Amino acid sequence: MSERAAERFVGLLFALSFLAGISLLFVYILGGQTQVEGVLLMICLGGIGLGIVIWAHRLMPTKIHIEPRGSVATTPEEMRRFEDALTEEAGFSRRKLLIGGLLGAFAGLGAALAIPVFSLGPAPGRSLFVTSWREGSALAPPDGLPEAVADLPIGGVFTVFPDGDTSDPNSATLLIRVEPELLELDPAAAEWAPDGYIAYSKICTHAGCPVGLYRASQHTLICPCHQSEFDVLHGAQPISGPAARALPQLPIARRADGTFVALGDFPEPVGPAFWNMTR
């Protein structure tokens, strides 16, 4: 490309940018369209960019310059003068006791500044150990009635909350109906599974995602976040994936009208582990 041709080409690119910018304004006034706006914005910006780059490459002297590079560090002479400047007036290094005292004062200030930090959140206390399930809470779908889950088909599953109240999401529980004869539970846990209805915490014991998938043919619950799989027939023990703990089972009983009530809270903390979770 000759210099004249390059100059003309760059001029053309700048003109194109101008036109694209004006067109963009018109598209906007006419109601806007995301894709057209994106393309026009590209032409507008790209024309300027390409024009400038070609200008720099073709129309500017490409001289190579050599700049000497000194040492980064200060020379010993200057360093000494720096140290003199640092210490000469205040007699800085002599007041060891005061320096220590000042550092101590700052440590105290640091402790004082922890106050706003601790205000950022409540002490965890026992909140991680409990959910809002109480003895007598009815199992009901979110904002629904207990009767809605009274008659599930075999293989059916419902997300339930205590009396349908979703205000504590960690109470989310899965009520599943399986063939009663297939269940193989501990004797204590078996009593909490009337007529093949069984309730497990929906919060994954791995990283706390909702265990959202139920494969009825295999009787497994699957967490879609990290693919942990839990065996519904065997106390929701993990059988594959990264989860290492069973989903806690909610003790439930069936009432005369076919609805379900909790006999109490989950026997152990729901959701992901923490170091002091063993009571």
Partner 1 sequence: MTERGVPERAMGWFDERTGAARVVRTAFRKVFPDHWSFLLGEIALFCFVILLATGTFMTFFYVPSGAPVTYDGPYPPLQGAEVSAAFDSVMHLSFEVQAGLLMRQIHHWTALTFVAVVVLHLMRVFFTGAFRRPRELNWIVGFGLLVLALAEGFTGYSLPDDLLSGTGARILYSVLLSVPFIGPWLASLLFGGEFPTDAIIPRLFVLHVLFLPGLVIGAITVHLVLLVLHKHTQHRGPLAREDNVVGRYFWPGQVFLSSGLFFLTAAVLAVIGGLFQINPIWLYGPFEASVVASPAQPDWYVGWLDGALRIFPPFEPVILGITIPSVFVPGIVLPGILFTIVALWPFAEARLSKDRAEHHLLDDPWDHPVRLATGLAILTVFGVLTLAGGNDVLAFYFGTDVHTLTVVFRWLSLILPVVVWLVAWRFALARRGAGEGTAPGPDDPETEGRRPGSAVRRNAAGGFEEVES
Residue 1 or 98 with smaller CB distance to partner 1: 1
The least CB distance from residue 55 to partner 1, in Å, is 6
The least CB distance from residue 130 to partner 1, in Å, is 10
**Cα 128 from Cα 269, distance rounded (Å):** 7
Residue 14 or 180 with smaller CB distance to partner 1: 14
The least CB distance from residue 4 to partner 1, in Å, is 19
- Which pair of tokens denotes residue 185? 């539970």
Q: Note whether 160 and 173 are within 8 A (CB).
A: yes
The least CB distance from residue 141 to partner 1, in Å, is 11
The least CB distance from residue 236 to partner 1, in Å, is 13
Residue 75 or 240 with smaller CB distance to partner 1: 240
Instruction: Please work out, in degrees rounded to the nearest 5, the angle formed at the alpha carbon of residue 209 by the alpha carbons of 179 and 211.
Output: 10
**Cα 223 from Cα 33, distance rounded (Å):** 39
The least CB distance from residue 80 to partner 1, in Å, is 21
Residue 60 or 256 with smaller CB distance to partner 1: 60
- Pairs from 268-271 (Cβ < 8 Å, separation ≥ 24): 269/128, 269/129, 270/131, 270/170, 270/201, 270/203, 270/205, 271/128, 271/170, 271/201, 271/203, 271/204, 271/205, 271/208
Number of other CB atoms surrounding residue 95 within 10 Å = 12
- Which pair of tokens denotes residue 276? 């002091």
The least CB distance from residue 101 to partner 1, in Å, is 31
The distance in angstroms from the start CA to the end CA of the chain is: 80
Residue 27 or 183 with smaller CB distance to partner 1: 27
Residue 124 or 258 with smaller CB distance to partner 1: 124
- Which pair of tokens denotes residue 234? 């065997």
Residue 96 or 279 with smaller CB distance to partner 1: 279
- Single-letter code of the amino acid located at 183: L
Q: 81: part of which helix (H) or strand (E)?
A: helix 76-87
